[in-house]
Every structure is written in C-alpha cells, then in structure tokens.
Amino acid sequence: MALRINDEAPDFTAETTEGKIRLHEWIGDGWAILFSHPKDFTPVCTTELGYMASLKPQFDKRNCKIIGLSVDPVDDHAKWVKDIEETQGHAVNYPLIGDPELKIAKLYDMLPADSGDSAKGRTPANNATVRSVFVIGPDKKIKLMLTYPMSTGRNFDEVLRVLDSIQLTATHKVATPVNWKQGEDVIIIPSVSDEEAKQKFPQGWKAPKPYLRIVPQPK
C-alpha cells in the first residue's frame, strides 16, 4: 500500500549509528525528518549528508529531529562519516539507520516489494528509488513526501522552508503562497470563515478576491 500525506508514519525498530531506536518513541512530542540515500560512499549523498549536518541547528530551533537511512549496515555508515566530515567540513551530527535487509525501505515504499531481502550485491542503480524525504509531525503523521532522482542532490533549504510553512499552518490556520519565505505575507485558509478570521486577524486582511485573504505572517 502506497503511503500518502496524513497517513501515520510506519513505526519500526532499527540499529543506528547512535544505537537502537524505535521511531515513534525517538520522535517524541516533536517533529522529525526521515531522509534516505541510495548507498554509502557515493558522491551526491556525501554532499547531502554534510549539508544536512550544517543545517541541524536550524532544525533544532524548530523542534525537529533528523535521521538518515540507507540499505547499508551501520558499520559502513560509521566509516563513511569520516569521509563526509573530511570533504564537506561538517561532521554528521544525527543518527543514520542501517537497513541491510531493506525492511524500512520497503515499509516506506522506497523500494518495490520484489527487491529481495539483502543489500549485498546491490548497486546504487538498484536502489534508485531510495532518495526520499519524509516530514513527520508530533502526531506521527506524514506531512511531506519528496522523492528525487538518483542524479539530483536534494534542496534541504527547501525542506526547511516547507517545515516552516507546515508548522505555521498547524498553529495559525494560514497557508503560504508560491515561493513564500519566513516573514512574508500568508493566506487565511478557506476553512476559516470571515467571522472567525475577524477574531483571529483583527487587523483585517487584503482580499483581491473573496477567496484570497492575505495577512502578515502571525508571530
């Protein structure tokens, strides 16, 4: 069954570079980002994991944990992180899940069911679908899913931007327009009536159309 936004994120227990975790317990009452990569010791992934390490303080401010995953064993992760720090200038500062039996990759619909049950002998090409990002909320539901092609490094600044938008909506009943950035105007969501909007936004709003009600970003 394919995962969809607002589905509960499948729970699992796994070995990581920071010990054994159970996902839902590890997330706790905050937010989390689970992101996967095709294989250790590959070039694009090396740049991604290093950059994600540099962004971790930004995610920490947003009460959002980071966890990575690949189908390689934890021992390989531990060797690879040295290369990441050497080449990218940032030490990996979040756990990396080992998934050598492909269980989690299949659980999250990153690999087809007929992919076998071992990472041995697999190449990055075999693992081509495993470059995914999931944002998981405090309710353990999936808020965002992204899947990139093998050859394209992900834009983790965009993931941070989307997290800001999702958290804003969760708190203030607003949506964010195209290319929105932190601090810019937002849109009152359609499910909020004008009467309710007057209570929530007593300063009023701009409305070039009745369904397009624009307000400054709530603090």
Q: Report the distance separating Cα 135 and Cα 5, nearest Å.
A: 10
Question: Does the annotation mark 64 as catalytic?
Answer: no
Q: Report the distance separating Cα 162 and Cα 105, nearest Å.
A: 23
- Annotated active-site residue in 9, 32, 45, 66: 45
How many CB atoms are located within 10 Å of the residue 65 CB? 18
Counting every residue, how long is the chain? 219
Strands 132-136 and 96-98: unpaired
Catalytic residues: 45
